[in-house]
Structure formats: structure tokens, C-alpha cells
Amino acid sequence: MTQSTEQAGSIARKNWLLSAPALVVLTLAAAGPLMIMVVYSFLTPGEYGNVTWQFSLNGWRGILLTEDIFEPGTYALADAHLTILLRSLKLSLMTTLITALVGFPTAWFIATKPVKTRILWLFLITIPFWTNLLIRTFAINEVIRNDGILNSLLIWAGAISAPIQILYTDTAVFIGMTYVYLPFMVLPIFAAIDRFDMRLLEAGYDLYASRGQVLRRVILPIVKPGIIAGSILVFIPSIGAYVIPRILGGGKNLMVGNLIDLQFGQGRNWPLGAALGMTLLIIVMIALVFYTRLTNRGAARG
């Protein structure tokens, strides 16, 4: 045994000890229960929900293929599942994009305020998010419904003659998610800008001629980790959203979170629900790999 490996061993031990409390909590209330989910996706549905302990691949097959209700043994592509998955993907990507487009300027605005007022602005951006998610979703509901503030305003302004149906559409879900998840974008971007030495900007202006160049060469590399972290934080709750589509989508246009919930309730097909959950997890992981590669490439280019 050389001294360096001994040292490495003690560092590893220290790091594990430091991480242990977090790992215990996570094993008990996140990773451990998730293993049950994996197991359940390979079982057979019980008569009124729940499962019977009998191995089956039907849950997984059910994601892509549906057995004809009336002709057992005949399968067709489960276009409905795909529609819902695509809708979820589309809405959450749109939400991520818009929150990034709006969140970056907002975070920049806050981070470039003088130290004294900066804390006030940070404070202001945090306040709305101390208000409960359901309350905010209801508030959006009040804004976009037919008799709501938005339609009344547009009618009053003469822009439209009859209310536009926004509530209970995909647009409503998109608006709601953007409103609710914006802080998850602003805060990490703010953190990224905040640790940046603004004097570098001046150096940037000395080096490059235009604002555009400074933005691209100096500022974007700085905020990029923040945007990537923010995108992760926004994309994941969006794609698994359950409450917002339930309230603003009117229960008719499901997102994948509602589809999973349905399997555990009236759908009475827990294994399919578990398999759908795993599928969602796989989509998220693919997105994460994509993000990570983005980060690394950015770092390499420097």
C-alpha cells in the first residue's frame, strides 16, 4: 500500500460520510420505493386495481400496443399513448424555451442592479413563488377564463367581440406551466451571473467591438450553466405535470402524468402505469444526457 492510495481512501471515506445523511433520506423516500415501481411494471393487474404477483410483460407492451377491447389477441399501435407523450413533450419543451428566453433577461436585470437594490429585486422575484401553486393556478384560471380578466380586457379594447376559449386548451396548460415554473429558471441563471466578475465585461468590450459579440463570447458562456441547470429544473416538472393540466386542461387533454394517474385509478392497470412512469423516466434521462453533452461541449470550446 502506497501512501497516496491510503490518502485517496481516506478522502473517499470522508466524502461518503458527508454524503451519507442525504443518501439515507433518499434511499428511504425516493430510490427505495422506486424499485417497487420497477417490480410492479412486470406484474399482472389485479381485478379492481392493485396487482397480482405474477410475472407479465403486458404492462410494457401496453405502452406501444393496445389489445383490441373486443378481439383479444389483436393488437394495434397505441397511438393514444403516443399522442399524449408527444403533447407532454411539446408543451414542456415550449415551457422550457419560453422560461429561458424570459428568465435570462430577468435574471440579468436583477444581477446587474447595485448590490443594495439587487437583494430587493431578488426578493421580489421570490415572493410570487411563496404563494401556493394551486392558488397561482387558480389565479391564472381567473385570468384566462371566458369571463376572466384577459377576455374582458380584450373585449373592452375592441380587439375581439366574443371571448376566446383559452381555458381547457393546451395553450392554457402552457401558460400555466410557464407562469408557475419561471422561478426555477430565474434563480439558477441569477446564481450563475452573480458569481461573474462584471469587470470582465469591460475587458470584453475592449476585446470585441459590438454588444452582440460580447453577448455571445462573454455573457452567454457565463449564463450557460445557469440556463442548463434552469432548463433541467423547468423541463422535468413540466413533463411530469399533473395538477396544472388537471385544472387548466379541464381533464380532457391529458398529459402523461395524468395518464399514469389514470392507470392507478379508474384505469385499474397498475403495471401499465408503472411502465409508463418508467418510460417517462427514460425520456427525462435522454434529455439529461443531452444536457450534459451540451455542457461539456460548451466547456471544451471554452
Partner 1 sequence: MADRSFSASRLPGFSTIATIVFVVLYAPIVTLVIYSFNEGKTVSAWEGFSLRWYQQAWSNDIVQEAALRSLTIATCAMLIATTVATMAALGTTRTGPFRGKSLISAMINQPLMVPDIVTAISLLIFVAAIKVATGYQGLLYLILAHSAFCIPFAYLPIKARLESMDLSLENAAADLYASPWQAFRRVTLPLLAPAIMAGGMLAFVISLDDVVITTFVKSGGQDTLPTYMLGQLRRGTEPDVNAISTVLLALTVVLLSLFFLLTRKRN
Partner 2 sequence: MKKLLLATAIGFMGSLAAHAEGELQLYNWGDYTSPELLAKFEAETGIKVTVTDYSSNDEALAKIEAGGHGFDLVVPSNSFIPIFAEKGLIQPLDLSKLPNHANIEPRWMDVVWDAGRKNSVPWLWGSTGVGVNTAVYKGDINTSSIFLDPPAELVGKVNVTPEMMDAIGMATLYVGGEVCTEDTEVLKKVRDLLTAAKPKWMSMDYGMEDKMATNDVSASMYWNGAIMRARLVNPDVKFGYPKEGYLLFMDSVTLLSEAKNVEEAYKFMDFIMLPENAAMLSAFARYGNGITGSEAFMPDDMKTAPEVAIPEEFLALGQFIPTCSPKAAEYNTAIWTELMK
At 252, phi and psi to the nearest 5? -100, -45
Nearer to partner 1, 126 or 165 (CB): 126
Report if residue 216 touches partner 1, rule: CB under 8 A. Answer: no
Three cell numbers written together for 32: 427505495
Residues 10, 14, 15, 19, Cα dihedral to 10°: 150
Tell which one of 3, 5, 54, 147 touches partner 2 (CB under 8 A): 147
Closest approach, Cβ 37 to partner 1, in A, equals 4
* Only segment of 35-43, 100-108, 177-185, 252-260 that touches partner 2 (CB under 8 A): 252-260
* Only segment of 14-22, 128-136, 185-193, 249-257 that touches partner 2 (CB under 8 A): 249-257
User: How much is the CA Rg of the chain, to the nearest whole Å?
Assistant: 24
Tell which one of 185, 254, 255, 278 touches partner 2 (CB under 8 A): 254
Applying the rule CB under 8 A, the residues between 158 and 187 that interact with partner 1 are 179, 182-184, 187
Report if residue 132 touches partner 2, rule: CB under 8 A. Answer: no
* Only segment of 26-34, 74-82, 165-173, 292-300 that touches partner 1 (CB under 8 A): 26-34
* Only segment of 21-29, 64-72, 78-86, 158-166 that touches partner 1 (CB under 8 A): 21-29
Report if residue 8 touches partner 1, rule: CB under 8 A. Answer: yes
Residue with grid cell 410557464, as numbered in its chain: 178
Q: Is 164 helix (H, G, I), strand (E, B) or coil?
A: coil
Report if residue 107 touches partner 2, rule: CB under 8 A. Answer: no
First to last CA, the chain: 39
Report if residue 208 touches partner 1, rule: CB under 8 A. Answer: no
Q: Which residues, in sequence order, are CB contacts of 146 under 8 Å at separation 6+?
A: 163, 165, 167
| Residue 111: Cβ-neighbour burial (10 angstroms; 0-12, 13-18, 19+) | buried
Angle between helices 79-111 and 220-239 (to 10 degrees): 140
Binding mask 115-154 for partner 1 (x = CB under 8 A): x---xx--xxxxxxxxxxxxxx-xxx-xx---x-x-----
Q: Please state, in angstroms and rounded to a whole number, the distance separating the CA atoms of residues 218 and 208.
A: 10
Closest approach, Cβ 70 to partner 1, in A, equals 30
Binding mask 263-282 for partner 1 (x = CB under 8 A): -x-----x--xx--xx-xx-
Q: Please state, in angstroms and rounded to a whole number, the distance separating the CA atoms of residues 170 and 177.
A: 11
Residues 45, 49, 53, 55, Cα dihedral to 10°: 20
Report if residue 296 touches partner 1, rule: CB under 8 A. Answer: no
The long-range contacts involving 83-88, CB below 8 angstroms and separated by at least 24 positions, are 84/254, 84/255, 84/256, 84/259, 85/256, 85/279, 85/283, 87/170, 87/253, 87/254, 87/255, 88/239, 88/241, 88/255, 88/256, 88/257
Nearer to partner 1, 65 or 122 (CB): 122
Nearer to partner 1, 75 or 224 (CB): 224
Given partner 2, partner 1, none, residue 99, with its beta carbon under 5 to 8 Å by kind, binds none
* Only segment of 70-78, 162-170, 228-236, 290-298 that touches partner 1 (CB under 8 A): 228-236
